[in-house]
């Protein structure tokens, strides 16, 4: 059996923030991929604005470096569970993985998730213990944790024989000795070449190429990024595309691109083992196979995790509709959602009975909020409803998604956390005391119970706690109410500008969400009530001016700071009878029914129906 020794295909996998993208950066720099005078941004692989701002990877990306005589193709994958769909498909394209683990934090929920996917594909692992320069780094214990995780996930004997490299990506150093770092990353390159298997060279056999990622370009249309599993593909070649529905389409390969550094390079042909991008097909999709016209053999379809969370997206119909956004019509919103489906395979968009509303399902709150944030930046105006988990029927039983939650907190807060997770129907699986005042708690919690939990968690732990959660499985539904907001809200009774006088008059009733001068309308939520019921208030009230001087001159009074919520916080805050209105400039919370009398009438009806 021939192998291509001049190439290696690897994916870099890790928990959020363990340093994958920084590591790829340094590998690119040290391999001499960039010219000495080339301006390269930090975390060069995170190319879109949201990735740069949040310091997270959202889309999987590929790059390649030349080391000595070998081309190393590297896939940088996201760490968040919400983008797990990206990680799974990458595993099919590579022969090995670099598992990056933080030298202080050790194995986290996402480490478990991504490693499980890699072991299921029988990939060869190399473990990189990163951030070795951190205070309190504990490399030996972290390696033990990794071995335990491998055993727990039923790794084979060969997979357990993984090499370990200790690195500090930010300093660009690595070595096989935890005590002493070499001045460069040679240890990682060498481990890749020595341990990751080279692809099989069967380039004389009939072509098989599978698409794992999609890209879009205004000039050439849809681009399929994937791996040539067998045979050779040339520009101008007539090929067959085996569609997911079983049909076959013929097309000509108009362009082929290889990767080097951050650039795409046009190439004439690609052989077995190469990772390339192909254009020329109008409607190519993830998981489809390209093969010769006369020998049509499809590769197994890529399995993609199902969405677990859904929201209703609606056309904005508030009194302020159309004032701030460029795209406000149903047609524009529908076109934008369909465009998103072109590249995002974990997303689903279903029409509803109303032409102005769509049910959008995704992998989690972050997945959907990133889509909403991108839309508002592009000038869209829309409304969304409260996120809801997707309930499935399995063997005649109603089942809901359950998440594995890992919480790291100082010891003093463990009681409060256990109580709050217990109230959300969570079950404790494990408790580890590291002996340095920090405790790690592991729970299984229904996803319903986690919606809106982050804000409560941060106030319970005064910001000292770290929470990570990842989808585990679908289990029979927990009876009763799980999670949800307990407090009622303060709702504006009229339209106008919020005044200092009006706000100060209701400050003692709860927490205010608006600043003086903010435009409000009837039915808009302007604060959180201290009690469980909703309260209608007037924040636009002005002080009556008279020409009589008061004996007690106006005292100087200070106003409390309002709580201004981010998009994620607003989505988590919503109740069933509320919408979040999103425009390029504002995020507003509102009642579905703006009129107070209508809301009361509906509440009465509900009461009678229940009685």
Q: From the annotation, which residues make up the binding site?
A: 17-22, 130-133
d(CA 234, CA 486) in angstroms, rounded, equals 62
Q: Give 609: exposed, middle or buried? Use CB within 10 Å, 0-12, 13-18, 19+.
A: exposed
Known binding residues for GTP: 17-22, 130-133
153: Cα within 13 Å, side-chain hemisphere? 23
C-alpha span between 230 and 532 (Å, rounded): 64
Give the span between the Cα atoms of 257 and 269, in whole angstroms.
9
Distance CA 540, CA 50 (A): 36
SS3 state at 60: coil
Nearest-angstrom CA–CA distance, 545 and 547: 7
* Residue 112, token pair as written in the block: 């478990």
Contact between 322 and 275 under an 8 Å Cβ cutoff? The reply is no
Phi, psi of 383 (to 5 degrees): -125, 150
CB 361 within 8 A of CB 85: no
Phi and psi based region of residue 511 (left: phi greater than 0; alpha: psi -120 to 50; beta: remaining): beta
Of the candidates 66, 52, 67, the residue with the CA atom closest to the CA atom of residue 21: 52
Whole-number Å distance between alpha carbons of 211 and 227: 7
The string over 141-180, giving b where at least 16 C-beta atoms fall within 10 Å of a residue's C-beta and e elsewhere, is ebbebbeebbeeeebeeebeebbbbbbbbbebbbbeebee
For 570-581, give the DSSP string.
HHHH--TTEEEE
Distance CA 499, CA 571 (A): 26
To the nearest 10°, report the CA torsion of 491, 493, 497, 498: -50
* CB-based contact 249:243 (threshold 8 Å): yes
* Residue 578 β-bridge partners: 591
Q: Phi/psi of residue 238, each to 5°? A: -85, 125
Cα distance between residue 120 and residue 475, in whole Å: 22
């Amino acid at each position: 059996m021939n192998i291509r020794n001049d190439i290696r295909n690897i994916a870099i996998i890790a928990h959020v923030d363990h340093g994958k993208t920084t590591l790829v950066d340094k590998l690119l720099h040290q391999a001499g991929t960039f010219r000495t005078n080339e301006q390269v941004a930090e975390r060069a692989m995170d190319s879109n604005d949201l990735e740069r701002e949040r310091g997270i990877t959202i889309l999987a990306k590929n790059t390649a470096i030349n080391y000595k005589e070998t081309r190393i193709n590297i896939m940088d994958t996201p760490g968040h569970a919400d983008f797990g769909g990206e990680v799974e498909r990458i595993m099919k394209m590579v022969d090995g993985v670099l598992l990056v683990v933080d030298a202080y934090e050790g194995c986290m929920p996402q480490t478990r998730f991504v490693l499980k996917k890699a072991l299921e594909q029988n990939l060869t692992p190399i473990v990189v213990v990163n951030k070795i320069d951190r205070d309190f780094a504990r490399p030996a214990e972290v390696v033990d944790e990794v071995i335990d995780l491998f055993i727990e996930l039923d790794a084979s004997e060969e997979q357990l024989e993984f090499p370990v490299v200790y690195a500090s990506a930010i300093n660009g150093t690595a070595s096989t000795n935890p005590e002493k770092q070499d001045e460069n990353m040679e240890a990682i390159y060498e481990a890749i070449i020595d341990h990751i298997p080279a692809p099989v060279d069967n380039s004389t056999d009939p072509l098989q190429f599978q698409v794992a990622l999609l890209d879009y370009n205004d000039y050439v249309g849809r681009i399929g990024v994937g791996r040539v599993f067998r045979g050779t593909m040339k520009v101008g070649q007539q090929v067959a595309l085996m569609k997911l529905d079983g049909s076959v389409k013929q097309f000509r390969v108009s362009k082929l691109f290889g990767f080097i550094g951050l650039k795409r390079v046009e190439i004439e042909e690609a052989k077995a083992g190469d990772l390339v991008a192909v254009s020329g097909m109008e409607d190519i999709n993830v998981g489809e196979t390209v093969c010769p016209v006369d020998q049509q053999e499809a590769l197994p379809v890529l399995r993609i995790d199902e969405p677990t969370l859904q929201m209703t997206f609606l056309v904005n119909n508030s009194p302020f509709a159309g004032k701030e956004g460029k795209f406000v019509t149903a047609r524009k919103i529908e076109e934008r959602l369909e465009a998103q489906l072109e590249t995002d395979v974990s997303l689903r968009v279903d029409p509803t009975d109303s032409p102005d509303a769509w049910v959008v399902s995704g992998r989690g709150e972050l997945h959907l909020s990133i889509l909403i944030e991108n839309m508002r930046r592009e000038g869209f105006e829309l409304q969304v409803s409260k996120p809801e988990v997707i309930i499935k029927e399995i063997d005649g039983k109603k089942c809901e998604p359950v998440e594995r939650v890992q919480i790291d907190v100082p010891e003093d807060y463990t009681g409060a956390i256990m109580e709050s997770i217990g109230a959300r129907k969570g079950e404790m699986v494990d408790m580890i005391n590291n002996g340095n005042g920090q405790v790690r708690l592991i729970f299984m919690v229904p996803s319903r119970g986690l919606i809106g939990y982050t804000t409560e968690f941060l106030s319970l732990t005064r910001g000292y706690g770290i929470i990570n959660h990842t989808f585990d499985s679908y289990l029979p539904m927990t009876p009763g109410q799980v999670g949800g907001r307990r407090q009622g809200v303060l709702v504006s009774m009229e339209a106008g500008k919020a005044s200092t006088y009006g706000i100060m008059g209701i400050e003692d009733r709860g927490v205010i969400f608006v600043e003086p001068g903010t435009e409000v309308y009837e039915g808009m939520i302007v604060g959180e009530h201290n009690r469980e019921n909703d309260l209608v208030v007037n924040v636009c009230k002005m002080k009556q001016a008279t020409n009589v001087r008061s004996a007690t001159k106006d005292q100087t009074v200070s106003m409390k700071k309002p709580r201004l919520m981010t998009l994620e916080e607003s989505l988590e805050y919503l109740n069933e009878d509320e919408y979040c209105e999103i425009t390029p400039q504002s995020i507003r919370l509102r009642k579905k029914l703006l009129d107070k009398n209508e809301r009361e009438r509906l509440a009465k009806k509900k009461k009678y129906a229940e009685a």
